[in-house]
Amino acid sequence: MVLCGRFPYGARLLEDSVSGDFRIGFAEYLAILLFLAASAITMTPRLQNAWAASIAWLLTLVFALFLAHEHWNDLMRLTAYYPIRSLIVAMTSAAAIVGMVWHVVVVPFAERAAPSSGQQQPASSPSASETAREVTKALPLPQSPSRPELPKSIPKIHPEFAATPLLTEERKQRITADVNRFYEYLVGIGYEPPTKTPVFGVSATNTAYSSSTEPGSNVETKILIARNRLDAPNGVIWQYAHWIFARFFPLVPVTPQTRFNGEFREIYAFYYAASSIGEYKPSTGSVFWDWANALWDIRGKYGKDVADRLLNYMYAAWYPPQDGVEFEDFIWLRFTHGLSLIDNNREITSDVIALANARGLPRRQETKSP
């Protein structure tokens, strides 16, 4: 009785709740459903959407104001004859106002104030040592080409053979195996060698011989194997490597841009043939041997993968030599550029250059910028 006397609205609400006389209509039910829908859109992670929630809260507010207009006097007195209806009006009105303010004002303001994911926070001032290290790096380096993805199925190479009784079925199978092994080796590094091969035959002497027509089809090129090397392990690798890199560095048409291709095809063919079988006999007497020796030194210290990719990056980032540039200058530019691609962080650059310098490279110390 004391409670009912001090809080008549609560007493009426309790009385109606016990008696079951809620006395709410369709509009109140719709307001409740809108309130629940807006709450679900706001609170459920899978349903969160600022625009949908704002519209739902706006509809809720409209219905709440409509109900409040009908029961304004009841709300003011808080002694409504139908307290449940008044309570619904009060709750939906308050919730709708809060929801609208949250989605229309608070959320957009927070999104504008927060830094976007693509923006970087201002960094602190670098120290003197950090600045010195950055200065020593000179110009920024380009990004390394991504490692090539091997094809799911590397095509099988079927060499062409000349009609000679010296090429028995067993020798043909061994030559085919050597050719496919070297082809797959180059594909794994990142090259795309031709799938057709020259015609393999047998030399009339113990001297290997090759003949080719540039440009020309594969059948216009012949690799004649020395008679005393018909049964030698990897006997055709050296000649086959030279044929492949002759396609990468053609001599025809003869232009100033192709004037160094003959030297490059020799270096590439000799190095990759030796690297694929793991055999190398150093020599001296020419710039060709100086480069071959230097590349093998790099391979010995940093592994086959580094040296193999270094040459590949030199080729992948190739551009023709400019007029007036000598071979020694040009190949040094290609070498240092390929090294910058494979060693972005300059972790081995100075050591690799030291290995080349130890072999007398570059022959000319004054180089031009690439």
Instruction: Look at residue 201 and give its three-state secondary structure.
Output: strand
Report the amino acid identity of residue 32.
Answer: I
Q: How confident is the model at residue 285 (pLDDT cuts 50, 70, 90)?
A: confident
**Distance, CA of 235 to CA of 223 (rounded, Å):** 11
Q: What is the pLDDT of residues 325-369, one digit of tens each?
A: 999 999 999 999 999 999 999 999 999 999 999 999 997 644 444
Maximum average pLDDT range among 59-63, 111-115, 244-248: 244-248
- Do 60 and 38 touch, CB atoms closer than 8 A? yes
pLDDT given for residue 281 in this prediction: 86
- Please tell me what DSSP assigns to residue 213: -
Q: How confident is the model at residue 284 (pLDDT cuts 50, 70, 90)?
A: confident
Domain spans of the chain, in order of start = 2-108, 154-233, 249-370
**Distance, CA of 48 to CA of 364 (rounded, Å):** 68
pLDDT given for residue 233 in this prediction: 87
Q: How confident is the model at residue 286 (pLDDT cuts 50, 70, 90)?
A: confident
Measured from the Cβ of residue 97, the count of other Cβ atoms closer than 10 Å reads 15
Measured from the Cβ of residue 145, the count of other Cβ atoms closer than 10 Å reads 14
Measured from the Cβ of residue 318, the count of other Cβ atoms closer than 10 Å reads 13
Q: What is the pLDDT of residues 182-204, one digit of tens each?
A: 999 999 999 999 999 999 999 99
pLDDT given for residue 34 in this prediction: 66
- H or E segment to which residue 180 belongs: helix 169-189
Assigned token pair, 54: 């704002």
- Please tell me what DSSP assigns to residue 105: I
In terms of pLDDT, which residue wins out, 203 or 214?
A: 203
pLDDT given for residue 101 in this prediction: 65
Q: How confident is the model at residue 294 (pLDDT cuts 50, 70, 90)?
A: very high
Do you find a cis peptide bond into 215, omega within 30 degrees of 0? yes
- Do 262 and 249 touch, CB atoms closer than 8 A? yes
In terms of pLDDT, which residue wins out, 243 or 77?
A: 243
**Distance, CA of 294 to CA of 83 (rounded, Å):** 95
CB half-sphere exposure, 149, CA atoms < 13 A: 2
pLDDT given for residue 45 in this prediction: 52
Report the amino acid identity of residue 324.
Answer: G
| Cα 301–chain centre separation | 28
Q: What angle do the packed helices 349-358 and 327-342 form, to 10 degrees?
A: 150
